[in-house]
Structure 1
């Protein structure tokens, strides 16, 4: 097996990963390499990935939250952070039930073909009353701000809105005012 197409962080899961691959080869999924490991797609869309970690080898389903999971084998890797992704963890090859794995994989493929995807809820955009007041008082500043894309405007707004103290808002505004007037985005130096 080509080393760059195997995601095994501790090099102890080669037999288990090979076994999972033989199971997945029975499906119509196409193996690709993304994020340094095997990822399986259907119609160009990510369905699942496999990989080895310190204490387990696993399958992660990109839209796992939508699987029925009658055997309660799927876990959320980071509660409160991970929204749709669900993992199925194994301690050894003996833990892997081929028929059961295929049942979950076929459901994931069917969901992908039916266009059933998890839609994350959009976060409400932050607003900055302070920045709005400053823009209203200075037409040059307002005109320069309006030249930015909505994305870059949002960066400025969030930068001011996330300041907890008034003095921090003031110092942040003093920092970004010359940037706005010069047409420089808040994070342009990192792009």
Structure 2
């Protein structure tokens, strides 16, 4: 998939909701938020901190508020996309242009900005569990000192991603296939999910 580098490009590759995304964008850019692209989607920040993003999907489009848990939600427009996993983020979902209540959206955006000014945020918890290197990866690292050295220099979160990726595979054939996939990624000092974080 082509990397998106501008909001115009994002709108262009989502023609089914281009008008709707443009309306949401106009609401958000009428505020002090800075527009950027993160995770290949329009993202809006205040002093470098993510406040909200706009997204278009197959059957709906949305605004997600990174610290939406702190919004009053007077119009009952927000929901948690992943109930068990998501602590702070909340999403406002739309199916058609008629669903866009511009005044309400602007009020939510302004409240989100105010909350950011006040420093209201839930920080993600650091994973403090020890990293368990699966046997398959351990064997590959032990036979390649350069690879082992590179792996040891990766951040703990990157190391954990690779270990879990191998461990989660049930079948030996899948583990081998995954190992073959990640060895060049480790060698190039990349994290497993780096392509999603640009």
Settle same-fold status: TM greater than 0.5.
yes
Contact kept, 8 Å, 1:5 with 1:33, in 2: the verdict is no
Within the alignment, does 1:53 sit opposite 2:85 as a pair? no
For structure 2, the 5+ residue unaligned runs are 1-5, 133-151, 168-184, 190-198
Cα-to-partner distance string for 1:42-95 (whole Å, 9 max, x where unaligned) = 112111111211111110111112212122211122222223211100111211
Cα-to-partner distance string for 1:86-116 (whole Å, 9 max, x where unaligned) = 1100111211111110111011001111111
For structure 1, the 5+ residue unaligned runs are 129-147, 164-186
SS of the residue aligned with 1:6? helix
88, 91, 94: which is aligned to 1:87?
91
Runs of 4+ residues deviating >6 angstroms: none
Q: CA RMSD in A?
A: 3.5
After TM superposition, the score normalised by the length of structure 1 is: 0.63
How many positions carry a matched residue from both structures? 150
Q: Which residue of 2 aligns with 1:104?
A: 108
1:38-187 equivalences under 5 Å are 38-126=42-130
After TM superposition, the score normalised by the length of structure 2 is: 0.61
Contact kept, 8 Å, 2:7 with 2:41, in 1: the verdict is no
